[in-house]
Amino acid sequence: MHFSCSQKALMHSISIVQKGVSAKTTLPILKGIYIETNNEGLRLVGTDLEIGIEHVMEADVLQEGIVVVDARLFSEIIRKLPDAEVDITLKENNQLEIKCASTEFNILVYSPDEFPELPIVEEDQVYEIAQELFKGMIRQTVFATSQDESRPILTGVLMEIEENTLNMVALDGYRLALRKGKISGNSNHKVVVPAKTLNEVNRILNPDEEEPLHITLTNNHALFTAGKTKLISRLLEGEFINYKQILPKEHRSKVTIKGKEILNSIERASLLAKEGRNNLVRFVVNDEKMVITSNSELGKVHEEINIVLEGEDIEIAFNSKYFIDALKVIDDEEVCLEFTTNLSPGILKPLANENYTYLVLPVRLASN
């Protein structure tokens, strides 16, 4: 194998596939980046067996070949090279020679035979979705997945495609995030994608890129293609919770409020709440104002916010963390809160559009 390319372009490619490489693994080969030269240039692959990332780039190929290099060492070396042409040759005895300006490295490489092949996903049915939109949908859902590995299905996000609408749903037993978006394609699908996968997909997305993300779904795998990068991931097995049943159909109180104001107030209240149990903050909705209070051994806090209330007054308590998480990912200026009783879930939505619904279970107060 012998090729040359620019240091910057090679570094860019490495940084993409390196995210797929196992950080901790008992299989040494998985610490490597697989590099294949062919008549089109370079194909680089990193995988941890759950996720695989492949990227192709142009290069001046003088001799075809395959090699697996230690991802960390190789990326450190390439990063430190001057901004010039890099010339790479596979020598005898698994030695890789890396030349750039007046620098010459010779490093030991792995034999590529043991490197696992990525699963083959036939791209006969492809969905297309704007990169910026999908990035936003990941941001508004993935944080609500469960961290608890005892219910693996909840560590993923449901992707439900029906009639050119994509519903992404995450829930962890205490809150639920639902984001709707437009997707094009000629089929329907219902799969659960690991949160980790979506975080990695998020990295390869470019919100300024006009070319859409391509998604192909099979029974076991999802393939995401953004430009010259492909990310392939296993899906989670099992049935996702019937989330539509959980969403309340009606409410008795509807509060309209500035998103930034309620976020700041809850964050301040949580400074004391987080020292106590449950991160407990209490909302008292009354006419034209909402009072947010919290207390712990350290002291107490009292916040007042002007609101527009439609319906009944209510007093209800929540884990502040769940509200903060969602308020941070809603960019709309005004949001609304919908309540029924202080024992039934609260709903948070942007005021101006219907594409996002966030549900939180209340905390039962001792005085209830």
Q: Which residues bind a second copy (CB under 8 A)?
A: 70, 73, 76-77, 80-82, 95-96, 102-108, 264-265, 267-268, 271-272, 297-305
Among 271, 279, 282, 198, which residue's Cα sits nearest to residue 236? 198
3-state secondary structure of 318: strand
Q: Whole-number minimum distance, CB 299 to a second copy, in Å?
A: 3
Q: Whole-number minimum distance, CB 155 to a second copy, in Å?
A: 31
Pair of tokens at residue 222: 């999802």
Q: Whole-number minimum distance, CB 22 to a second copy, in Å?
A: 18
Provide, for the chain, the percentages of residues in helix, strand and coil under a 3-state DSSP scheme, each rounded to the nearest 5: 25, 45, 35
Closer Cβ to a second copy, 99 or 214, answer by number: 99
First to last CA, the chain: 73
Closer Cβ to a second copy, 73 or 241, answer by number: 73
Q: How many residues comprise the chain?
A: 368
Answer whether 84's CB lies under 8 Å from 100's CB.
Answer: yes
Q: Whole-number minimum distance, CB 315 to a second copy, in Å?
A: 19
Closer Cβ to a second copy, 69 or 144, answer by number: 69
Closer Cβ to a second copy, 190 or 289, answer by number: 289
Closer Cβ to a second copy, 207 or 299, answer by number: 299
What is 227-294 written as a DSSP string?
TTEEEEEEPPPSPPP-HHHHS-S--SEEEEEEHHHHHHHHHHHHHHHTTSSTTEEEEEEETTEEEEEE
Q: Whole-number minimum distance, CB 41 to a second copy, in Å?
A: 25
3-state secondary structure of 212: coil
